[in-house]
Structure 1
Amino acid sequence: MLRNWILAALIAFVLAAPAAGTIDISKKVEAFDNARLKGPGAEARGTALSVGNLSLRFTSGKLFPILVDGKTEGVFFIGEGQFEYSSVDPFEAANFKTNVKRATRYTVEEGKLAGAISELIFWGAGYLDDLPDGPAGDSSREAQKRFRQFRDKREFDQTAVEVQVVHSLAEPPGRPFAIVELGADKKDLVYTFDTVFSQDESIFALDKVNLGTKFTKQLRQLFVLSRQPIGRNRLTLPPMAYRLVDVDANVVNPGGMDVRVEVRETFEILEPTRVLKLSLMSWRMVDLLQHDYRLKAVTGKDGSALPFVHREGHLIVQLPQPAESGDSVVLDFAMEGDILERPGGDNYWILGPSGWLPEVRRVDANFHSYRVVIKVPKPFMPFSNGSTVKRWDEGNFACAEFRETQPIFLPVILAGKYKSFEQTNDGVTIQVHAYAQAKKQRMEKIANNLFALLEFYEKTLGDYPFSELKVIEINQLGWGQAPPGIIFITKEAFIPGQAARGWSIGINSRLAHELAHTWWGDISPWASDEDYWLCESTADYYAAVAMGILWRESEFDKEMDRWRDASRWVGDSGTILLANQLSTMAGLRDRQGLLYAKGPLVLHALRQEIGDNAFFTAFKTLLSNRRFQHITTQDAIAVINMASGKDYTDWIHRYIAGTEWPDQGKKKKKKKKK
């Protein structure tokens, strides 16, 4: 009888729908924080449960209902049992096997991950009012202690389990949701089954971050092992409930590391919504220490305070009344924190490109017009995305306003001590901002090279969308980054002669890559993790094409050789499609090899396969059709098929979504010098 009760209870967590009544999300999360066990527990032996592709079997021990506000919202298990998780999506077979091998001590057998469990918490988005109370009595002190220890261990896991569960409870009913926290024999795991927001199920491994400080010793990082879509094809995006369409911000650095941010955001509602699920950093690590970024208030357009919960990068905001499709919701946010790090005490700081603004927790739901007013202590100058509306002084503060009417995402703010050079051609102004030692001749050369690249990209990819391009020196070595209308480039680009010769080789190629992101990333951003190759692989390939045409043909050949060398050690560890879902430091290395080496090689193989005309027509058409819209792998397949007159779906699946490699031919032999 007890076994039947427990089985029914666990199934109810996934299948039962929450009541129609509204809840106060901040009070509900607090209630989850104070959850307690009910009763002496029911015998777990012989009980089994399946949720999505996760199966649980209990051979001994007890199951304790977890009370939240007097209602059973979960179950705590102590004893012996087994778990089994199956990856049934063929697209992630390689990633799953690699991630499990690297992030855990388990192995994958026939697409399955299995092991023993001794503790478990199961949270579900269903009410259990119809279930019997089970045996009468109180839980033992030992059981309550184990429950508290299990939860305390996960306080710094960045999972924000309670926030996610409360969000699922507050949304419209009929959408199953569950989170299972597993104390397993070889590695602690977290499993999610989410049809409320992401429409996927995932399993993660937890491992310590420990970097030697008291704060980092407490942290455990989530390493994705598997992420599978629920009720949809992996290449099909889930429905979107709302999106961020306008940002109007005021940012003040009163001094030191302090920053104060006030922002008004406008959301377009696409499906009935009660609670917005957003992301906003909770802290930033500066010199391996935690510096908090606090959300002080969220208010409606009328100034009324709204309930919210901000925890470990997760933010949920309860709307004053349920929003319907077609509604426009305007919210004001106020944040502050001592998070403006100046690397090595240098003369600049960067805020962004993500984390400093509340954003929807999916890539393609953030594409907005943008305005910001920034005030920083002199002698620093502020910079951000968009056209420079004006600059002015207010006492000891240097102030500036920037505005962009075209949609952008991931805006960034930088302030530093710079000297500037500016040049305008054909309605586009390139500003180069560098440190004092940079010579004007060098800054002018960078601008001229970028104008040449702009002309080439406009012919092959379409019009440049912004009125300004800001190039800003970063006092480090060896990297670049390209938020919309901005290029951050490290100091070797500005240092002449031998001082940075080892780093400055290939600086034009790096500028070409970063500028290509205007089209591959800004005008047409990637829609999901699976589509990120349409940002990095395409930018790298088009940069090489530009270098080969504008400078010399050997520049393209050099890039081909570099791609071959850099991709050799990737093997079959993962796929280009899922490069962003590889875990651990080794996964980051493979990600680089897949997106920045194998990806361009596959694009070159496609160009050889269908010919120059069809290749360049296809990708220019893709950007034209999806200008200021997110692009997907499915979009790319459609234009490739159209331009080539053949179906290349299987070809893309083999080389982009699979681990196969196209034939790239032999390296060209270098002619011996006489």
Structure 2
Amino acid sequence: MRNLRLLVTTLALCLPVSLFAAAPLTDYVAAVNNLKLGPETATVSNVTWTVGHMKLRLTSGSIARVMAGNEPIGVFFKGNGSFDYETVEAAELPVVEHNVKAIAHVKMTADAQHATLSDDFTEILIAGGGVPMPAVTESGAATLADAFAQHVAFFGRARVTPLAHILAVQKFSFPAAKRLRIEIRGGRDNLLYDLDEAEDHDESLVTVAGPTQFVSDKRVKDWLFPNLLSDQPVGRDHWTTARPPFALTGLDYTLTADDDNAKADVTETIARLTPGQNVLRFDMQSERIVRANQPARTYHVRSVTDAQGRALPFHHDMNDLVVAVDTVADPTLKIKFVIDGDFLVREGGDNAWQLRLGEPWFPLPRQLAGQAYTVHSVLRIKKPFIGIAPGNTISRRDEGDYNVVENVLDKPVEFTMVEGGKYNLSEEKRGERTVRVATYGLRNDRASKQLTNLAFDFIEYYELFLGAFPWKEFNIIQVNTYGYGQAPPATMFITNEAFNSMLSSVDEDAVSADQFFSQGINERFAHEIAHQYWGYVVRDPSPEETWLAESFAEYSAALALKKLMPKGEGVYNRLVSQWRTGARQATAVAPIPYANRIEGDPSLTFRQRFGLLYEKGPYLLYALHKEVGDTIFLTFLKSYQKSFAFKAGSTKDVAGLLGFITKKDYKPFFDQYFWGTAMPQ
């Protein structure tokens, strides 16, 4: 057998004319989902190949081309090798070190500016587009067919985006961009490396492993889950969110619900960066396991058409949807989806179900920065349930066996939701604003009145330093459980304790603040209303900017409690002390922007994430407030809301506006305390 010569060539994966150019999307997806090895297999020894920040050493073994139909898309290697992956994103080094210790066994060497993760392997699959690939130019080695089949079967258990989908986007939308996945097996960890210059503009390394906690479902036991080790930006700095390949700007849907079953007729207005983006990739739920070892609840995409009713090719798999739109020339287009399934889940057997905030029960852009859409909704809910959706109410009516409500959100949002159930509605209008309370099961007029008053009080106070409240109608919905709140647009979910508080007052219309706030609802209530500003008026465009929603809402809530509560100064000081203590317990693990990347024991990661976003973040705002004083700080908050109203914010803009107002450079502050792990004194 003769040694393979590795040639850096564009022939393998950068052909000027695609072999699938005349074939539909679905043919290409089918080919990638049925990969084969080319006829030639060659030996290789002591060869190094580098892409991005990944260096592979193929010490000894055999290699063959990987084919999608008749098109080469990569290579498969079996033998002995090793890799070095380097991250040069200094800000992520603490969380990389934490994650390696928590979930991996790779070797890590690091200094203050970069880290290298290393391991051995016995087999790798390299697949991608736009990347010069090793070319198999000799033959004579033994076949790798059996080893390749075993490799594909193993990584087929991974709950990750289908390879066919990411390659289809690169091929048909961004053919000049580098897009690569490397599947690494046989070392101390099984790994996936991803290079993405097409959609997310990042480079990452993850482990793939089975569940870390006990699960009783046999399907889930067999799955492999990605766990992040490193993710660094490509072609941008960490201050800058990558531009999404397209944006959802308008959502118009009718949802018909009957027991567990639903049908959604959805029309989306999509704005592409360029008309040459011929394949769009969405988040779209495929299934949801509700009961162990029972059939999963399913979401079926029945059809996808353009504005003229012409069918658009699509493929839906693993919570991912790709749609071919090459027949539409305009960069702005309308796509119609018909979706059905048994995806209405009554948690705990309740007489209620929820299509949750951020849940892709309709096709959503994968990037938060691509979600800025108005909403027109029509809910047709089988009686006796009623539907609740955010926005101005156009009408609420009966249509035979169905309760119908129609709503409009006329300002762009990045989330929406639907609630259906046995609810009783009460509402109060003051001026042009209506607060509506939905109590679960039985009427609760007293709690409804108290919560309505409280909502108006918080809204009135926030308007003083954050500007006009963004919605004319605001819903407060009871969730039949305990211990949390959540803020969809123009809506608050709040749990039973807010409705069951034992309150008494001489004036039945007044809230006994000491009694009400002693229940611990105050902070949640104030926080969720503040999210209507921090999360919707100013959107967070990426997971790295989550603090713009959570930390700013938390600090705004503290200001409201300080003003409105009896002994509010003491409450505020208690919160500051709590933030300081909690932040110090979490800050060494990761900087604030990488709070969502922490891996390991779920109970610990929850606490660490909470410590960064809900404690260190607001503590930084407290430190800034203390430094600049009330007038400047409140002016900054109001100016930021005004300048970025219904736009995506960024920490870079936060630092810039503070600097403009105070004539001081705040970039060092954010480098040290936001991107770094230090705590202000």
The TM-score with structure 1 as length reference comes to 0.93
* Structure 2 residue 534 is the aligned partner of structure 1 residue 529: no
Partner amino acid, structure 2, of 1:182 = I
State the 1:311 CA deviation. Answer: 1.3
Over the aligned positions, Cα root-mean-square deviation in angstroms equals: 2.3
Contact 1:73–1:127 (Cα < 8 Å) also in 2: no
Change (3 A) 1:608 1:305: same
Is 1:638–2:639 an aligned residue pair?
A: no
Shift of 1:280: 0.7
Query: Are 1:304 and 2:310 an aligned pair?
Result: yes
2:404 pairs with 1:386: no
Alpha-carbon distance between aligned partners in 2 of 1:161 and 1:644, rounded to the nearest angstrom: 49
Q: 1 CA distance for matches of 2:575 and 2:26?
A: 53
Q: What residue identity is the alignment partner of 2:235?
A: G
* Superposition map of 1:452-531 within 5 A: 452-497=457-502, 505-531=519-545
> Is residue 182 of structure 2 the alignment partner of residue 185 of structure 1?
no
3-state SS of 2:39 partner:
coil
Identify the range of structure 1 (156-165 vs 623-632) with the bigger mean alpha-carbon deviation. Answer: 156-165
Task: Provide the C-alpha distance between the structure 1 equivalents of 2:642 and 2:12, rounded to a whole number of angstroms.
Answer: 46
Does 1:617 pair with 2:635? Answer: yes
In structure 2, what is the equivalent of residue 35 of structure 1? Answer: 35
Counterpart for residue 152 of structure 1: 153
Give the Cα–Cα distance (whole angstroms) in 2 for the partners of residues 421 and 631 of structure 1: 35
Equivalent residue in structure 1 for 2:266, among 263, 266, 281: 263
CA distance in 1, matches of 2:321, 2:107: 35
Change (3 A) 1:12 1:203: farther
Q: Which moved more, 1:170-179 or 1:285-294?
A: 285-294
Task: Show CA shifts across 1:354-382 (max 9, x none).
Answer: 21111111101111110111112211110
Instruction: Give the 3 Å change call, closer, same or farther, for CA 151–402 of structure 1 in structure 2.
Output: same
Deviation per residue, 1:315-343 (Å, 9 max, x gap)? 1111143645xx32111011112121111
Question: Are 1:413 and 2:413 an aligned pair?
Answer: no
Structure-2 residue corresponding to 1:223: 227
Distance 1:35 1:485, change over 3 A: same
TM-score (structure 2 length as normaliser): 0.92
| Aligned mate of 1:560, from 550, 573, 576 | 576
Show the 5 A alignment for 1:92-491.
Answer: 92-110=92-110, 111-126=115-130, 133-135=137-139, 140=143, 143-159=144-160, 160-209=162-211, 211-255=215-259, 257-271=260-274, 272-288=276-292, 289=294, 290-321=296-327, 323=329, 327-353=331-357, 354-437=359-442, 439-491=444-496
Task: Specify the code of the residue in structure 2 equivalent to 1:195.
Answer: E
Shift of 1:158: 2.4
CA contact (8 A) 2:76 2:123 kept: yes
Deviates more, 1:576-585 or 1:443-452: 576-585
Cα deviation, residue 126, structure 1: 4.3
Decide whether aligned partners of structure 1 residues 389 and 197 sit closer, same or farther in structure 2, where only a CA change above 3 A counts: same
**Aligned match of 1:671:** none
1:2: Cα distance to partner?
6.9
What secondary structure, in the 3-state scheme, does the structure 1 residue paired with 2:539 have? coil
* Change in 2 beyond 3 A, CA 1:188/1:13: farther
Give 1:660 shift.
0.3
- Name stretches of at least 5 consecutive residues in structure 1 with no aligned partner: 664-674
Q: Which residue of 1 aligns with 2:90?
A: 90
Q: Give the conservation status (yes or no) of the 8 Å contact 1:389–1:403.
A: yes
Asked if the contact 2:107/2:119 (under 8 Å) is kept, the reply is no
Contact 1:71 1:128 in 2 (8 A): no
Tell me the amino acid that sits aligned with residue 349 of structure 1: W
Closer, same or farther in 2 for the Cα pair 1:302/1:237, shift >3 Å?
same
Residue 434 of structure 1, CA deviation: 0.8
Distance 2:68 2:287 in 1: 28
Partner SS state of residue 333, structure 2: strand
Taking a change above 3 Å as real, the CA distance of residues 365 and 615 of structure 1, as seen in their structure-2 partners, is: same
Change (3 A) 1:239 1:56: same
Task: Give the conservation status (yes or no) of the 8 Å contact 1:438–1:494.
Answer: no
Determine the C-alpha separation between the residues in 1 that align with 2:648 and 2:131: 38
- SS of equivalent to 2:92: helix
Tell me how far 1:609 sits from its aligned partner. 1.6
Give the total of aligned pairs: 654
> Runs of 5+ in structure 2 lacking a partner?
504-514
Give the Cα–Cα distance (whole angstroms) in 2 for the partners of residues 129 and 98 of structure 1: 33
CA–CA separation in structure 1 for the residues paired with 2:277 and 2:562: 51
Contact 1:297–1:334 at 8 Å: present in 2 too? Answer: yes
Tell me if structure 1 keeps the 8 A contact 2:287–2:298. yes
Are the counterparts in 2 of residues 61 and 79 from structure 1 also a CA contact under 8 Å?
A: yes
Output the CA distance in 1 between the equivalents of 2:131 and 2:469. 54
Q: 1:532 to 1:581 in 2, by over 3 A?
A: same
